[in-house]
Structure 1
Amino acid sequence: MENLIRFGEKFFDELEIAVYRSRDVSASVELNEISMASTRGGAVTVIRGINEGRLGLAIIDSDDPERIKEAIEQAAKMAKLNGRDEKWVSLPEPGAYKEAPKPNYGLKEASPDILVEKLVRGIKLAREKDPNAVVAGGEGGVSWEKRHVVNSHGVDVFQEGGAAFFFLELVGRKGDVVTPGIFDFDARRDLNLDVDGVVDRAVQRVRWAYNVEKSRNEEVPIILGPWAIAGLLSYTLLPAFSGERLVKETTPLAGKVGEKIASEVLTIYDDPFHPLSLEPTVADGEGVPTRKNVLIENGTFRGFVWDNYWAKVNGTESTGNGKRDLKSGGIGIDFHNVVIENGKRSLEDLIAEIDRGYFVDGFQGAHSSNPDNGNFAVTANPAFLIEDGEVKGASVFLVAGNVYELLNRASEITREQTVMPFMTTMTTPFIKFENVKIAGK
């Protein structure tokens, strides 16, 4: 890689080369049958060069040195056609990197057969526990990636590692009732995926959903599950912590560092080294050391996250949150593993104390929320009515409001935490909110 950097310095003032080698194994189920099993792999190299403030990018599906040289030359031609970026300062310098956790090399050569076995077991268990349920969909997957980022300032970071996931979607039919799709999942850095737990949790929700309860307009306590939390916060809250949005004046959190923006029960941080993190990475997509970044501490806003570019524009330092888009080759601000700190009591305890309220397993429509002000309007589905401390059946209702007002209504957090490998990777408990206005359907 050093020779390639030296070659590229003939064309650029600064140069970055990022090589990604991946292997992905997956298997899928559809309508109680295995529908697909595959193994895919390959390499992608991204060239990012700057000459007199002009950026040149090139992406190739190879890690061959000669192909990389050709890509460097192509990026140089593109740079000549681009305008000068007056905000550009420089690529990052090397930093102090933490010691990387030892990867689980058992994932490196995982076979699709292992995933097929787990899916077959999941189908069998689901059918045994509820003959009325159909495994409408599901997937198991294992990913392994090697990343090598070098630049002309001396950054040289190599990392490798992998993770596995498993999910099922069940649909139940009993009499005239057809339940909504009920998801459950597990994700971790080994192959000890909790198939039994996924099936047990999904079947329990399907059984609840056989009894349909009409919702109404009311103000009630609600408990949000991991899928609902991750979906809502990924679109309404998390973008507001971006330093780019601070510079562009599109975040409602501008000027609010040190102010209370949520309930005191909420502490939220980005931590790639959390024990449940699926990707304990020591450097971000441009080679800046990663770290734990506290976003909200006991309800108080603690700060923004930055990549190298926007940090230097703002006169601060990168927090190690530069994430590379392999489709465009560009770097944007993003998170590694958002953690909502857990509490002390169980979900069962929280449900037992509710006279009338709802447990919400998922939201529909969160993607249309407005991160510029935190406003949202979503459909709670699947959702489950709680009366006298017990789940009585399934409901659907609308919730509209502002995410910051909602966060200030948080009253308790469970001790259980779930790793959400979809959307923004998030490690989250269940959260209870008080006096939430809902519109019945």
Structure 2
Amino acid sequence: MSEILGSVEGLIPLAERMGADEVEVYVASGKSFEIEVRLGQITSSHSIFDSGIGVRAVINKAVGFGFCNSLEKKKLEEITEKAIQIARSGKPDSNWSELPYPSSFPVVRGIYDKRIIELSVEDMVEITGRMLQAASEYDRRVMPFWGGVGSGYAVRGIINNHGVEVSEKGTMIGCVMGTIAREGYQVTPECSESDYKRSLNINPENVGREAARQAIDSLRPKKVETGVYPVILAQDALTSLLTYTLVPTISGDNIIRDKSAYKDKIGTLVASEILTIEDDGVMERGLSTCAFDGEGTSSQKTIIIQNGILKSFIFDNYFGRRAGAKSTGNAKRGGYAATPSISPTNLYVKEGDKNPDKMVSEIDDGFFIRDLQGAHSSNSESGEVSVVATPCWKIEKGEIKNPIKGAMLAGNIYNMLKDIKCIGNNIRQLAYLVAPWISFEKVRIVGET
């Protein structure tokens, strides 16, 4: 890992000689490999190797940025010069403070597995085949519509002229399967399952079977009457919903821009007292776990909501300083071609004491919603949501029964968070969210007319 920083450390004195007050170099190198499934067949594979840098230069509080997909010395020097030119011609930002300074970095565990790097093409095809076979054999009415298996590794590092110099390596592997079921002229909505890990312990058979089971269970749907019902949201639905509501609300940039429903509510009750949410950048084996964020600030655990009370927001270095706070280690990058932006790491909803069966058994007339569509249209400032619930099933007298056709969930997410009935103990990570099922007491469900 020291080699990746060694290839760019000469750019710091070069930028300073060119007139930079501050300079930061972000460097990344990695490889990914993917097997693709379409219409029940393994159809293609592709491998990508990519390396590059992103340079931020600051002159008189004006920030310039440049990037290139090469680690060749001449290219590195050219892109550094371009970042300097942009900063020199740019408009000063009176709110700019400074780039981060060195700090101690946590020891993170479970984010690198050499076995993933050593996987052959044959290994990847075999894993994909196991997932595909499990879905196909579950029921002849199931069609594995799309899916795939992907793996990769990455090395990234950051160096700046304040003395930050840190690097890290990580791996990832995952599989996903989308299915439909056909019976006569009836075709179900798409149902999917996935499994992503930082180490080589995914379960492709379970992914295939579960995607197939959902599709079969979605056959012969019924309509539902509009009304207010108790509702259980699974992790997929929670991820869809919170991505476009709660996450923007707790992001420090929206606090500064006065676009957050939670502004000026630190220390007040904003949710049910049984709800605790943390942003945990150092969680063992977390999909977003890292020792440092996208600008070299050490990762940490930040309590967002504790027993319903709002405790903190998440910040990068820039907006943290503007808010009179510190960075919480939440500056994320989409790669070397992007500047940092605020994003959660592992957003952890603390599990409750109810197993899933118990949660269902306590509902006499309600719904279990696996996923939601259209959550991107939600209004994070007002909290208003109107989304399609699919796949979705009716709960009757404590049992999950028939699938539901054309139902919509409508309401206000911030009111829903205050109206939580119970929280499950079936914790699972999907993307950035680490959460169990959550049961809400009263949710408006709009039936198909």
Q: TM above 0.5, one fold?
A: yes
State the partner residue of 1:56. Answer: 64
Cα distance in structure 1, aligned partners of 2:174 and 2:88: 44
State the partner residue of 2:99. Answer: 91
State the partner residue of 2:150. Answer: 141
State the partner residue of 1:399. Answer: 409
Range moving further from structure 2, 126-135 or 270-279 = 270-279
Q: Kindly tell me: are residues 201 and 348 of structure 1, through their superposed partners in 2, closer, same or farther at Cα, counting changes over 3 Å?
A: farther
* Counterpart pick for 1:13 among 16, 21, 46: 21
Q: Kindly tell me: are residues 205 and 17 of structure 1, through their superposed partners in 2, closer, same or farther at Cα, counting changes over 3 Å?
A: same
State the partner residue of 1:25. Answer: 33
State the partner residue of 1:3. Answer: 10
* Counterpart pick for 1:337 among 322, 337, 346: 346
Show the 5 A alignment for 1:150-161: 150-161=159-170
Cα distance in structure 1, aligned partners of 2:39 and 2:278: 39
Are the aligned partners of 1:26 and 1:112 in contact in 2 as well (CA < 8 Å)? no
* Counterpart pick for 2:280 among 271, 275, 287: 271
Q: Quick one: percent identity of the two aligned structures?
A: 30
* Counterpart pick for 1:192 among 201, 209, 215: 201
Are the aligned partners of 1:362 and 1:383 in contact in 2 as well (CA < 8 Å)? yes
Q: How many residues align?
A: 438
Report the Cα offset of residue 276 of structure 1: 4.4
Report the Cα offset of residue 174 of structure 1: 1.3
Q: Does 1:35 align with 2:47?
A: no
Are the aligned partners of 1:208 and 1:391 in contact in 2 as well (CA < 8 Å)? no
Report the Cα offset of residue 81 of structure 1: 2.0
Are the aligned partners of 2:298 and 2:329 in contact in 1 as well (CA < 8 Å)? yes
Report the Cα offset of residue 26 of structure 1: 0.9
Whichever residue aligns with residue 10 of structure 2, its letter is: N
Show the 5 A alignment for 1:385-396: 385-395=394-404, 396=406
State the partner residue of 2:256. Answer: 247
Q: Does 1:118 align with 2:131?
A: no
1:185-242 deviations in Å (ceiling 9; x for gaps): 1111122211222233223322221131211112111111111100000001111111
Q: Kindly tell me: are residues 276 and 99 of structure 1, through their superposed partners in 2, closer, same or farther at Cα, counting changes over 3 Å?
A: closer
Structure 1, unaligned runs of 5 or more: none
Cα distance in structure 2, aligned partners of 1:180 and 1:210: 9
Cα distance in structure 2, aligned partners of 1:332 and 1:391: 41
Cα distance in structure 2, aligned partners of 1:328 and 1:314: 27
Cα distance in structure 2, aligned partners of 1:199 and 1:353: 30
Whichever residue aligns with residue 150 of structure 2, its letter is: G
Q: Does 1:131 align with 2:140?
A: yes
Whichever residue aligns with residue 133 of structure 2, its letter is: K
SS, match of residue 2 in structure 1: coil
Cα distance in structure 1, aligned partners of 2:100 and 2:379: 32
SS, match of residue 186 in structure 1: strand
Are the aligned partners of 2:293 and 2:332 in contact in 1 as well (CA < 8 Å)? yes
TM-score, normalised relative to structure 2:
0.94
State the partner residue of 1:299. Answer: 308
Range moving further from structure 2, 110-119 or 178-187 = 110-119
1:83-141 deviations in Å (ceiling 9; x for gaps): 11111111110111112326212222433432321221122122221111000011211
State the partner residue of 1:319. Answer: 328
State the partner residue of 1:427. Answer: 434
* Counterpart pick for 1:378 among 387, 393, 416: 387
Cα distance in structure 2, aligned partners of 1:86 and 1:248: 15
State the partner residue of 1:418. Answer: 428
SS, match of residue 9 in structure 1: helix
1:300-341 deviations in Å (ceiling 9; x for gaps): 111111111111222221111111243753211111111111
State the partner residue of 1:439. Answer: 446
State the partner residue of 1:175. Answer: 184
Cα distance in structure 2, aligned partners of 1:28 and 1:393: 32
Cα distance in structure 1, aligned partners of 2:422 and 2:197: 26
SS, match of residue 94 in structure 2: coil
Report the Cα offset of residue 345 of structure 1: 2.5
Whichever residue aligns with residue 334 of structure 1, its letter is: S
Are the aligned partners of 2:108 and 2:283 in contact in 1 as well (CA < 8 Å)? no
1:24-46 deviations in Å (ceiling 9; x for gaps): 11111111100221211111200
Range moving further from structure 2, 285-294 or 273-282 = 273-282
TM-score, normalised relative to structure 1:
0.96
Are the aligned partners of 1:25 and 1:111 in contact in 2 as well (CA < 8 Å)? no
SS, match of residue 103 in structure 2: coil
1:38-69 deviations in Å (ceiling 9; x for gaps): 21111120000001112111110012233211
State the partner residue of 1:232. Answer: 241
Q: Kindly tell me: are residues 353 and 100 of structure 1, through their superposed partners in 2, closer, same or farther at Cα, counting changes over 3 Å?
A: closer
Are the aligned partners of 1:221 and 1:354 in contact in 2 as well (CA < 8 Å)? yes
* Counterpart pick for 1:81 among 86, 89, 101: 89
Structure 2, unaligned runs of 5 or more: 1-7
Cα distance in structure 2, aligned partners of 1:426 and 1:114: 29
After superposition, the CA RMSD in angstroms is 1.5
Are the aligned partners of 1:19 and 1:44 in contact in 2 as well (CA < 8 Å)? yes
Whichever residue aligns with residue 431 of structure 1, its letter is: I
* Counterpart pick for 2:268 among 251, 259, 273: 259
